[in-house]
């Protein structure tokens, strides 16, 4: 199964008469782009704002991030959600590399929404401070949700995907700067020397704690809560088979951008045939009931064992309750003789002295830490706020509280509320150490 | 210029050897013995203004008295940092350095630090309270151990960023905090490389060492449940409508107690959940699914339990740190013990 990712590296973004990519500059016809946004009647008011790295800009509430892409051949983007349900992961996909569409609430935020600083110390926290952000700032008529702490953010999340696809269209017929090729043959096609290498699986535990539809991560448009763990070709993940949900404190979430740019999977693909024999991605979930956790862990182990896995990397989308699933999966693997590395964030408390994960096992002896959700951040006022800063305290953001916003506009918050900051897909260089 | 006060035992303070180990604490201006070395490394940013000297036996046998005398001696002094040792492998000296540093930190709220060998028993006793730098086994490493402390304290007092315990060379204090991998290395690369090391049986180092797990033994069963008072406690965030105590919806640091006298069940509209970690619709429709007051009243009427305690205790368990949860649990348990409650039904979400 072969996927070609054609990259077009963006140097800058601006508005103009036509949406076009030329000499590194992405020009956007704002009216035309907004018409795509308004295709959904639920969007009542929308604007597009550009935020560049090092700009004095604070963006919040951010609901999802989507990479501007175009499916040139071999399928459709985000199948089963915004497009027809067809297999993902083959053919050619063009990408406006370095650019990112952020779905931003004009007013309303919530528990699951995040904050991005484009400069200052807050900008180290998250990979999204390093991208050219095309912020879709919008209001919707989902009024019943305005005062809910948990928001599905449906209209805005879908609008960001539509906008990203609209932008991606401008590079459909162009030649990319470079081509990344992801080609993982089926086991019977492997060369003998590859068959000798240690067999490795990647496990992606998607957020699926909410009972009602509309909050959880989606697999081919299907609520991850409703599935048993399943084996996926890595290309499917890198080509849009999985879309982010709208639940979990923001720093622990995996955005749609990060799913298609999962750096751990990309690195495993590069290692395939060199140091390892990469068997594929097991997509699992993080349901709340114990039996559901056990069932998923059992299935993960069975799939890995049936494939003959000797090594595994397990990635958890979230913290707290899902730590149980994470530790259970690692324990099952280690018991089955599969050497496992886990990648997750921690909640060590504001004084840093708490147990890092809710559940622990001595079998989890190889863990990568991507951040501490309870790290306190004090951030200076920012000249420009895209969205509404008030949402940090008013709407129940997981990293904010009454008093988070100071009189001078500076803020004090927990890392919990920084947008996709802990990047459990391995896309950032933050970690936790002992002092 | 910032000011430091230095602590030495009778030997390094040049009072005498074992025969002077009962030397009563005293303070003098200036530096002695290893203080000269310290002074040279701290200048020009920090001046060592005084040296406290105390006999090891005096400190060991009359600890409370020694601490009190030294704190008195420091009372009218101005200083920005308190430094003790290095104590190397010396057990009594290590104990004195650890104990006095801890007391000075608590009393004067200034940074304190010392240095010892890993085998000094005082390391385990005090490393969670104070900076203890990893030092050599004997005074032969003085010229290495003193500059390490001096360099750290100079940067600390200058307000510069300090690194992890490992990088700085002190024993970990049990505080886990964020940093950025330098040079930048993504979690993905760290994870895959750790997996390759593990697969090859090479050495690797986990980024989250698994701490010792506190296991609480299961309590023995109650002999006569029909004579006992049972209380309801929840981490499911069930509160009277409006959340009168302002308990946080996540990362809670507060708990509340609410009178349930005369209530046969928790009525929707009068009670709600403020817990942000689960879908609240079912709990708001019927709060008894999280706090089973209806079922407990049934057992009370049946005589299966003696009595249901008239207060419901509530907090929120999502994102709540283990330390905060332990503290709140202790506080609630103590109240219940005082009220002669002998069993609780603890529900989550």
User: Are residues B187 and A264, on separate chains, in Cβ contact within 8 Å?
Assistant: yes
For chain B, domain boundaries: 2-168, 225-347
String of DSSP letters for A341-358: EEEEEE---TTS-S-SSS
The sign of the torsion formed by the CA atoms of A319, A320, A322, A326 equals: positive
pLDDT at residue B326 in the model: 85
Residue A16 has pLDDT above 90, yes or no: yes
pLDDT at residue A220 in the model: 98
Residue B321 has pLDDT above 90, yes or no: no
Q: Which of A368, A416, A420 to mutate to test the interface with B (most CBs of B within 10 A)?
A: A368
Query: Considering only CB atoms, which chain A residues are within 8 Å of B248?
Result: 401
Question: What's the token pair of residue A35?
Answer: 């018409």
Mean pLDDT of A218-235: 97
Q: How far is CA B185 from CA A200, A263, B182, in A?
A: 22, 11, 7
Q: Which CATH architecture has domain B2-168?
A: 3-Layer(aba) Sandwich (3.40)
Query: Considering only CB atoms, which chain B residues are within 8 Å of A225?
Result: none
Residue B347 has pLDDT above 90, yes or no: yes
Domain count, chain A: 1
Report, in this order, helix, strand and coil percent for chain B, each rounded to 5: 35, 20, 45
Reported as a single tens digit per residue, the pLDDT across A388-406 is 999 999 999 999 999 999 9
Would you place residue B252 in the very low, low, confident or very high pLDDT band (cuts 50, 70, 90)? confident
Q: Distance, in angstroms, between B290 CA and closest chain A CA?
A: 14
Q: How far is CA B284 from CA A44, A352, A418, B313, in A?
A: 30, 34, 29, 18
Structural domain of A84: 2-417
pLDDT at residue A70 in the model: 98
**CA distance linking residue A280 with residue B190, whole number of Å:** 19
Nearest to A268 among B167, B192, B349 (CB): B192
Residue B322 has pLDDT above 80, yes or no: no
pLDDT at residue A261 in the model: 98
Query: Considering only CB atoms, which chain B residues are within 8 Å of A398?
Result: 250-251, 276, 319
Mean pLDDT of A43-64: 98
**CA distance linking residue A284 with residue B175, whole number of Å:** 32
Mean pLDDT of A273-299: 97
User: Are residues B175 and A351, on separate chains, in Cβ contact within 8 Å?
Assistant: yes
Reported as a single tens digit per residue, the pLDDT across B209-233 is 987 777 788 888 988 999 999 999 9
Query: Considering only CB atoms, which chain A residues are within 8 Å of B177?
Result: 348, 352, 372, 375, 432-433, 435
> In 3-state terms, what secondary structure has residue B108?
helix
**CA distance linking residue A257 with residue A75, whole number of Å:** 19
Residue located via tokens 């009359």? B62
User: Are residues B321 and A349, on separate chains, in Cβ contact within 8 Å?
Assistant: yes
Reported as a single tens digit per residue, the pLDDT across A72-87 is 999 999 999 999 999 9
Strand partners, A346: A372
**CA distance linking residue A350 with residue B334, whole number of Å:** 25
Residue A327 lies in a domain: yes
Enclosing H/E stretch for B312: strand B307-314
Contact in structure between A174 and A8 (CB atoms under 8 Å): yes
Residue of chain B minimizing CA distance to A416: B319
Residue B250 has pLDDT above 90, yes or no: no
Query: Considering only CB atoms, which chain B residues are within 8 Å of A346?
Result: 176, 208
Residue B293 has pLDDT above 90, yes or no: yes
Residue A429 lies in a domain: no
| Nearest alpha-carbon partner for A113 in A104, A100, A123, A101 | A104
Residue A111 lies in a domain: yes
φ/ψ (deg, to 5) at A100: -155, 135
Residue A337 lies in a domain: yes
**CA distance linking residue B333 with residue B343, whole number of Å:** 10
Burial (Cβ within 10 Å: 0-12, 13-18, ≥19) of residue A138? buried
Enclosing H/E stretch for B150: helix B142-157
| Nearest alpha-carbon partner for A49 in A386, A382, A381 | A386
User: Are residues A429 and B211, on separate chains, in Cβ contact within 8 Å?
Assistant: no
Mean pLDDT of B105-109: 97
Question: What's the token pair of residue B237?
Answer: 């965030």
Residue located via tokens 């600390």? B156
Residue A350 has pLDDT above 90, yes or no: no
| Nearest alpha-carbon partner for B40 in B7, B4, B93 | B4
Nearest to A313 among B195, B207, B209 (CB): B195
User: Are residues B207 and A431, on separate chains, in Cβ contact within 8 Å?
Assistant: yes
Contact in structure between A262 and A270 (CB atoms under 8 Å): no
Would you place residue A217 in the very low, low, confident or very high pLDDT band (cuts 50, 70, 90)? very high
pLDDT at residue B320 in the model: 78
Residue A214 lies in a domain: yes
| Nearest alpha-carbon partner for B37 in B92, B121, B115 | B115
CA angle A156, A160, A162 (to 5 degrees): 115
**CA distance linking residue B242 with residue A371, whole number of Å:** 34
**CA distance linking residue A313 with residue A302, whole number of Å:** 15
Residue A430 lies in a domain: no
User: Are residues A367 and B189, on separate chains, in Cβ contact within 8 Å?
Assistant: no
Residue A54 has pLDDT above 90, yes or no: yes
Contact in structure between A118 and A266 (CB atoms under 8 Å): no
pLDDT at residue B253 in the model: 85
Mean pLDDT of A18-46: 98
Residue B323 has pLDDT above 80, yes or no: no
User: Are residues B321 and A374, on separate chains, in Cβ contact within 8 Å?
Assistant: yes
Residue A431 lies in a domain: no
Residue A398 lies in a domain: yes
pLDDT at residue B18 in the model: 93
**CA distance linking residue A225 with residue A209, whole number of Å:** 7
Reported as a single tens digit per residue, the pLDDT across A106-137 is 999 999 999 999 999 999 999 999 999 999 99
Q: Burial letters for B135-153: b for 16+ Cβ neighbours within 10 Å, e otherwise? A: bbeebebbeebbebbbebb
Burial (Cβ within 10 Å: 0-12, 13-18, ≥19) of residue A130? middle
Q: Distance, in angstroms, between A122 CA and closest chain B CA?
A: 12
**CA distance linking residue A218 with residue A207, whole number of Å:** 9
Reported as a single tens digit per residue, the pLDDT across A176-187 is 999 999 999 998
**CA distance linking residue A79 with residue A81, whole number of Å:** 5
* β-strand pairing of B2-9 with B26-29: unpaired
Report, in this order, helix, strand and coil percent for chain A, each rounded to 5: 25, 35, 40
Size of interface A-B (CB pairs under 8 A): 219
| Nearest alpha-carbon partner for A59 in A99, A119, A10 | A119
Would you place residue B279 in the very low, low, confident or very high pLDDT band (cuts 50, 70, 90)? confident
The sign of the torsion formed by the CA atoms of A435, B2, B8, B14 equals: positive
């Amino acid at each position: 199964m072969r996927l070609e990712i054609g990259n077009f590296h963006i140097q800058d973004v601006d508005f103009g008469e036509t949406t076009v990519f030329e000499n590194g500059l992405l020009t956007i016809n704002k009216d035309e782009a907004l018409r795509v946004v308004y295709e959904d009647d639920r969007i009542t008011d929308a604007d597009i704002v550009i935020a560049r790295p090092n700009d004095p800009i604070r963006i919040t509430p951010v609901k999802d991030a989507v990479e501007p892409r175009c499916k040139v051949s071999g399928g459709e983007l985000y199948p089963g959600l915004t497009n027809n349900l067809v297999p993902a992961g083959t053919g050619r996909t063009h990408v406006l590399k370095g650019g990112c569409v952020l779905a931003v609430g004009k007013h309303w935020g919530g528990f699951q929404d995040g904050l991005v600083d484009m400069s200052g110390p807050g900008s180290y926290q998250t990979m999204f401070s390093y991208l050219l952000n095309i912020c879709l700032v919008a209001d919707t008529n989902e009024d019943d949700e305005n005062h809910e702490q948990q928001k599905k953010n449906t209209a805005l999340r879908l609008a960001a995907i539509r906008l990203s696809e609209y932008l991606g269209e401008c590079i459909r017929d162009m030649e990319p700067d470079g081509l990344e090729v992801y080609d993982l043959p089926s086991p019977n096609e492997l060369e003998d020397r590859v068959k000798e290498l240690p067999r490795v699986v990647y496990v992606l535990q998607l957020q699926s704690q909410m009972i009602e539809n509309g909050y959880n991560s989606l697999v081919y448009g299907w609520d991850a809560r409703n599935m048993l763990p399943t084996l996926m070709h890595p290309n499917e993940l890198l080509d849009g088979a999985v879309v982010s949900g709208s639940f979990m404190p923001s720093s622990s979430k995996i955005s749609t951008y990060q799913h298609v740019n999962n750096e751990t999977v990309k690195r495993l693909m590069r290692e395939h045939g060199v140091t390892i024999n990469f068997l594929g991605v097991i997509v699992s979930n993080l349901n709340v009931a114990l039996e559901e956790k056990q069932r998923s862990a059992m299935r993960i182990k069975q799939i890995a064992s049936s494939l003959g896995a000797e090594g595994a990397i397990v990635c958890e989308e979230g913290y707290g309750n899902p730590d149980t699933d994470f530790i259970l999966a690692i324990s099952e693997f280690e018991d089955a003789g599969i050497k496992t590395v886990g990648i997750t964030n921690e909640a060590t408390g504001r004084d840093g002295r708490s147990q890092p994960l809710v559940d622990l096992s001595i079998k989890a002896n190889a863990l990568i830490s991507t951040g501490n959700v309870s790290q306190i951040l004090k951030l200076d006022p920012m000249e420009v706020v895209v969205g509404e800063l008030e949402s940090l305290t008013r709407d129940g953001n997981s990293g904010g509280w009454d008093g988070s916003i100071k009189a001078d506009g500076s803020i004090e918050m927990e890392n919990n509320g920084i947008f996709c900051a802990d990047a459990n897909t391995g896309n950032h260089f933050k970690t936790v150490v002992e002092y | 210029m910032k000011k430091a006060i230095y602590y030495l035992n009778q030997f390094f303070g040049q009072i005498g050897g074992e025969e002077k180990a009962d030397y009563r604490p005293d303070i003098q201006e200036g530096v002695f013995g290893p203080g000269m070395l310290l002074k040279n490394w701290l200048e020009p940013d920090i001046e060592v203004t005084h040296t406290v000297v105390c006999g090891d036996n005096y400190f060991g046998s009359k600890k409370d008295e020694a601490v009190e005398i030294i704190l008195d001696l420091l009372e009218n002094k101005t200083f920005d940092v308190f430094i003790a040792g290095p104590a190397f492998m010396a057990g009594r000296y290590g104990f004195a350095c650890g104990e006095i540093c801890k007391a000075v930190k608590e009393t004067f709220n200034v940074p304190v630090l010392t240095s010892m060998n890993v085998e000094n028993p005082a390391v385990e006793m005090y490393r969670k309270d104070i900076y203890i730098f990893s030092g050599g086994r004997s005074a032969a490493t003085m010229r290495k151990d003193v500059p390490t402390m001096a360099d750290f304290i100079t940067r600390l007092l200058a307000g510069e960023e300090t690194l992890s315990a490992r990088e700085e060379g002190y024993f970990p204090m049990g505080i886990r905090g964020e940093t950025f991998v330098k040079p930048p290395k993504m979690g993905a690369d760290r994870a895959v490389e750790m997996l390759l090391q593990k697969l090859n049986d090479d050495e690797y180092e986990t980024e989250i060492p698994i701490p010792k797990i506190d296991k609480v033994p299961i309590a023995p069963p109650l002999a006569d449940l029909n004579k006992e008072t049972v209380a309801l406690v929840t981490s499911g965030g069930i509160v009277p409508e409006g959340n009168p105590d302002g308990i946080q919806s996540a990362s809670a640091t507060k708990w509340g107690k609410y009178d349930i006298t005369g209530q046969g069940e928790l009525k929707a509209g009068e009670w709600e959940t403020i817990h942000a970690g689960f879908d609240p619709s079912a709990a708001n429709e019927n709060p008894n699914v999280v706090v089973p007051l209806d079922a407990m009243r049934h057992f009370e009427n049946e005589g299966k339990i003696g009595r249901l305690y008239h207060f419901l205790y509530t907090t929120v368990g999502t994102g709540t740190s283990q330390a905060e949860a332990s503290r709140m649990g202790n506080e609630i348990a103590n109240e219940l013990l005082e009220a002669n409650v002998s069993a609780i039904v603890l529900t989550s979400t």
